[in-house]
Structures are given as structure tokens and as C-alpha cells.
Chain A
Amino acid sequence: MPVLVFDEVTKVFKSSIRGRHLYTLGPVNLEVERGEVFGYLGPNAAGKTTTIKLAMGLLKPTSGRIEILGSGSNSVQARRRIGFLPEQPYFYQHLTAQELLEFYGNLFGLSRDENRRRAAKLLDLVGLSAASATTISKFSKGMLQRVGLAQAIVNDPDLVLLDEPLTGLDPAGRREIRDLILDLKSRGKTVFFSSHILQDVEMICDRVGILVGGKILRVASVSEVLEKSVRWTEVEVTGLSSEAARRLGLDDIPGNVEEKAVIRVAEGDDLNGTIGRLMQEGAKIASVMPMRLTLEDYFLSEIENGSKPGEGKKPANPVNNPGSVPGGPRIISNGLEGKSPEGDANARTDLLASRVRGAR
């Protein structure tokens, strides 16, 4: 049962004076299922905030239909069960945190006592109990985001819409908000939030939608996206002598690889065999780490390739897919530089690789 539906929704922005066409969002086709955490991704000015405003009735769609908890987006009563946190929120500066939450609670018709209790409880939940009597004008950005989240759930809503809830927070703050979102999910609520911080989306979302330049490129489940992305293994070894490396066909990198070398083994290649041969040559295996493309890579590649929007499109080959280089394992760093998959963008010869294959 979808709790939020966008059906062929478009929003056209024209300049107010001449009526010149400025920007169009859509058509957006999207369904958010009950109980899921949906991440709405996109670069700045893609239209994420516009989408959320359309859902909340702050804007009216130029065409299409929006259904939120079974009602239209302009339904005031539907908002009883909805929570909303706008981007870079600003609250009444003259109120204290407690007063602010009580103000919002009052808009839902809570009784005075219940209102007060609930406000205190929410402040505790978001970790702002100590600041309950502090005026908002003195709040830091992190505190604002947290009190913002608190006001978004003051009515214990079924659906929560958050616009960039993690932006501008330090890692500790982001962790807290992520935990809160997961906590909401565990209590059966649906969370829809937009972000351009991809690691966070990756960590907590069930599904993700990618919006670029006003158009939806892709809607898919996170696990599905990540499954399809390429995996490889990085083997870190020490004590690999240069001769041994040469023998294995891994002498691609100049300099001393004896202290530390990181070898990439593509998905199809024989991992165990490679490890065995390394050990035979006297190298010590320091670590074996399976790796995959992050959502960020996926996202960036979608942007680069994505000129055709819509669902059901097979992900295009990520540009920087090191695994697609034919052949076997390759050394990618000697531990002296940092290792990164993108480093492989520089074309390296695969002579070594073929030699190792040949040596098998």
C-alpha cells in the first residue's frame, strides 16, 4: 500500500514578469511503500526540494496527481499523520526549544499537559533536553536540525518527509540522525528524505530515487543497485620481493613493493589461486578485503550516462570498472600512496596480468 504516490507529476516554473520558461520538474513517477526508508538523491538544484514541497502542498503541480496517505496534496487533514522538516530550517527565534515544540503540538490540538510531556520527551529523544530552556536564536546548526526533526514527529506521524536532514552536520550528528531515522522505521513509520550525501543514503535506505536536472533517472532498491555493481578483492601483502613479483607478472609498479603491496583481483579471477601463489613466493598476506563500487560511483555514473530517464534501465557500465580490464590480478599500489579504485582510471598495461594468467 503506497503511502506517497507521484503520478505523471510536473511542475513548470516561469519567470514572473515575462513568463519565460525557467525550469521544469518531471514528469515524476514514484511510489513510496509503507514502512520503507526512501532516499531521494540528486545534485543541488535537481528539484528534490520542489518534489517534497509538491507533496506537502506548498506548491501546486502543473499537471499530474499526487496522493499522500490516500488524500490529495492539498488536504489539510492528511497532514495530521505527516511530519515535515524543510531544508535549512529556521524557527521562531524568540521561543525556547520547549516552547517551540509546544507551539507545534498545539497546532495538532494536543492538551496542555500532554503537549508539555510530549515536547519534553521529544527533546530527550533528539538529545536536546539540556537545551530545552534555551532560545532558538542561540542554537547551533546541529541543534537546529535536531529540534527540526523533533517538530517533524511531534504528532507521531505515519509518514515523515525530510529535506536534507543530514546536511551541515558533523559525523557524530549525522550518525545520530541516521539512528533516529532507523528508529522511526523500526516503529513502522515510512521515511522519505532527500540528500546529496550518498554514504548516508547507502547506509539506511531501502530504496533510492535519483533525480538529475528535474528528471528521475532511476528508482531502485539499494541492495539491487549494489548487487549489480562490480565487486573485486584487494589483497594486501608484505614481503613480496621484486623477483617474485616479476615472476608472478606483478612488476607493474616501479619502486620497492617489498614492504607493502596491494593487489587487485577481479571478480571472475581465481582469488584463492592468486593467494596461494603469493604465499608460495614467500609473501605474507596482511589482509584480504572484498570491495565493491559505492553508491557514489553508481550515482556518478548514472549521471554521466543518464540522459534517458525512467525505470527498468540496465545500469550502464561504470566507467571506471577496473574489473573489466581483461586479465587477472594487478598490483595497484605499493602502500606508499593511498589506494583507491579511481586510481585505476589511469590506464595501466595488463601485461603482468596476462603473464600471471599464463603462469597458472
Chain B
Amino acid sequence: MKAIVLGIAANTFREGVRDRLFLAVGVFAAFVLASSLVIGPLSLGEQTRITEDIGLAAISILSFMIAVLVGTSIVYREIERRTIYTVISKPVERWQFILGKFVGLAGTVTLLVASMTVLLLLIDFAVARQFNGNILVAILLTWMELMLLTALSVLMSTIASPILGAIFSLLLYVIGHASADIRDLAVRFGSGVLRVMTDVVYYAVPNLEYLNVRSKVTHGVNIDPAYVAFASAYALLYAIAFLVIAVLVFERKEFK
């Protein structure tokens, strides 16, 4: 049974590789290196921090783009092109298909993040002449955020076209990062329908800022391990929820 999920995952992963997604890593490395070298001397001693800031941001953005762009079409494309028929007609449970797709995409994103991280650490070490271990913590939480977004993309893929799915995912990303401001806004509404609506949005949409410790890390702040654990659990729960919904939707799907 696990072989089926892994089989589908491996195939999805291979598709990603052959799609030359990993060119992104090259783009990343070139960009960070260039920025660091160009901006560094202008920054009055802040070159390390700027390198780390840009590097972490680039990892986050590139991976997010790939996760969403690939993820939102991953199931949809299979249905549209009907490659899915020959898979679903084998002794494959519907949930195995969804999980396989997710694992494959998550694996691709993870490999991307890992390679970019290694490059960032190398560049950072070259610039700072020392090792900022906290970068790994920031990356860990960024990775958890990406897993959440990947699960969301897979869910979107089962219910909407890629464009719609990508727009919705992007919207959730923006709202997720503005979560605290929404809370402030909600409090000012006092009570009433508007307050309830804002509260619902606030509690339902994942607060992605929890997973963003990038600025703290580049300011040299140590992150509390308990915080990391809670934030990771938070992201994991959302990912699970999204996948469960995706499975429930996919189970009922009719292939006209």
C-alpha cells in the first residue's frame, strides 16, 4: 500500500525534475550572490544581515511560487489530460493518489529548499566568516509554511482550475501574513456582524507570520525551541486539514 503512494510520489517527483524546476536553484544562487556582492559594500557594515535577509526571502518566494504554480495544476492537469484514468482504474485508493501527489510535490519543494539552503549557508559563511545556526531555524519554519501551502495547492487542484487555484492560494498567503493586522482591525470593530466576520477570517486563515522568524534571525535573536515546536505543529495541523478536505472532495469526484 505504501508502495502505491510512493510510486505515485516518485512519478510526480520525476516529473518535477524533468520539468527542470531545479533551474530555480541556479537562479536563486546567482541572485543572492549578485545582490550580496553589489549591495554589500553600500550597506555600511550590514552586509551579512542583508545577505541573510535576501537569501531567506528568496528561498521563501521561489519555493512558494513553485509550490503554488505546480501544485495548483497537479491534479487538475491529470484530470484534464486524462492521464489520471489509467491510474485511478488500477487498484489505487483515491486517498493514495492524493497523498502520493502531495508527497511527490513536497519532496520536490523540500529538495529545492535544501539545495538553496546549502548554497545560502556557503555564501553566508563566505561573507560573515562565521556560521549563523539560526538560519536553519528560520528555514525550518519556512519549510513548514511551504508544506502548508503545498497541501493547500493540492486541495485547490482538486476543486478549481489552476489559475483560480493560484489566485486563491496567493490571496490566502497575503491574508495569512496580514493576520495580525486583521486582528487589530477586528478589535476596532467592537462587536457586531463585521466583527464576527473579521474574527472568522482571523481564526480560519492560518497566521503565516508565526512561521516567519526571518527578521529575528538576521537580527541575531535566538528563537525559543518551544515556539518552534508550537509553530510547526500549527502548520502541520493546517496541512493535514487541507489534505483531508482534498481527499474528501476527490473521493466523490466523477470523471465525466
Contact = CB atoms under 8 A, between A and B. Distances in A.
Direct contact of A and B (CB under 8 A): yes
Contact of B85 (A84, A92, A107, A108): A84
Which of A56, A58, A82 is the most central at the interface, judged by chain B CB atoms within 10 Å of its CB? Answer: A58
B199 to A, nearest CB: 32
Interface in B86-103: 86-93
B224 interface: no
State which size class the interface on A falls in.
Answer: 20 to 34
B90 A58 contact: no
A145 interface: no
B7 A106 contact: yes
State which size class the interface on B falls in.
Answer: 20 to 34
A140 interface: no
Contacts of A59: 254-256
A86 B256 contact: no
B86 A94 contact: no
A107 B19 contact: no
Given A89-B86, A95-B14, A76 B255 contact: no
Interface string B1-42: 001100110010011001100000000000000000000000
B57 to A, nearest CB: 31
Contacts, number: 72
A92 B255 CA distance: 18
Given A79-B91, A106-B3, A107-B90, A86 B15 contact: no
Contact of A94 (B18, B87, B91): B18
A104 B86 contact: yes
Contact of A107 (B18, B92, B255): B92
A346 to B, nearest CB: 45
Nearest to A79: B91
B92 A84 contact: no
Interface string A132-152: 000000000000000010010
Ranked nearest first, the 4 interchain pairs of A and B with the lowest CB-CB distance are: A106-B7, A84-B89, A94-B18, A86-B85
Interface of A: 13, 53, 56-60, 76-77, 79-80, 82, 84-86, 88-92, 94-95, 103-104, 106-109, 148, 151, 155
